[in-house]
């Protein structure tokens, strides 16, 4: 773990309601070029044995709740964007490029509302593996022991003990 990451965590910890299950920062590993933005009224819980790789981003807005339990692994180029509530249970693995959103923009016939959002709690169960470039959208519950294949967009609940694949067919034509 980088010394700079320790400084960032200490600075973030002071003005916000951040709960670390264990104060030993060696239990939480952060890679290079990570961006963490926790608004003043954000509530963040980070468990033990958490490993966040390079170029990751976590945003937790005012009055939002992010709970990351023990044994979480976040690979390179992932992001978590929390405006309401995201819960990630124990021993969850994110492949590269995973995105988790508990919100989307509101829109009407006049267009997208830049500052207005619809939100819904996201919960990812224990012992889940989200493959590379998975996108999890608002209001989704993923049960325990779920594997989600690369490139899937998860927009509805996934029952426990399931495997989700993105069934697509490659079409190859001669030039």
71-116 pLDDT, tens digit each? 999 999 999 999 999 999 999 999 999 999 999 987 887 888 777 8
Query: Rounded CA gap, 97 and 75, in Å?
Result: 7
**In the block, which residue shows the tokens 């033990």?**
48
| 73 burial level (CB within 10 Å; 0-12, 13-18, 19+) | middle
Identify the CA nearest to 47 among candidates 82, 83, 22, 79.
22
Name the CATH code of domain 3-164 (choices 1.10.150.120, 2.160.10.10, 3.40.630.30, 3.40.50.2300): 2.160.10.10
Beta strands 135-136; 99-101: pairing state:
parallel
User: Which pLDDT score, from 0 to 100, does residue 160 have?
Assistant: 98
- The predicted model scores a pTM of 0.83
Residue 21 has pLDDT above 80, yes or no: no
User: Which pLDDT score, from 0 to 100, does residue 4 have?
Assistant: 38
């Amino acid at each position: 773990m980088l010394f700079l990451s320790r400084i960032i965590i200490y600075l973030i910890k002071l003005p916000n309601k951040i709960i670390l299950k264990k104060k030993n920062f060696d239990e939480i590993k952060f890679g290079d070029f990570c961006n963490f933005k926790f608004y003043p009224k954000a509530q963040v819980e980070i468990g033990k044995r958490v490993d966040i790789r390079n170029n990751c981003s976590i945003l937790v807005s005012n009055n939002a709740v992010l709970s990351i339990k023990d044994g979480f692994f976040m690979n390179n180029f992932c992001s978590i964007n929390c405006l309401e509530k995201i819960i990630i249970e124990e021993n969850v693995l994110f492949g590269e490029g995973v995105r988790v959103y508990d919100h989307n923009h509101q829109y009407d016939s006049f267009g997208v509302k830049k500052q207005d959002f619809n939100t819904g709690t996201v919960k990812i169960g224990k012992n889940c593996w989200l493959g590379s470039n998975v996108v999890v959208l608002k209001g989704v519950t993923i049960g325990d022991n779920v594997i989600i294949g690369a490139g899937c967009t998860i927009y509805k609940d996934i029952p426990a003990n399931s495997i989700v694949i993105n069934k697509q067919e490659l079409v190859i034509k001669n030039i």
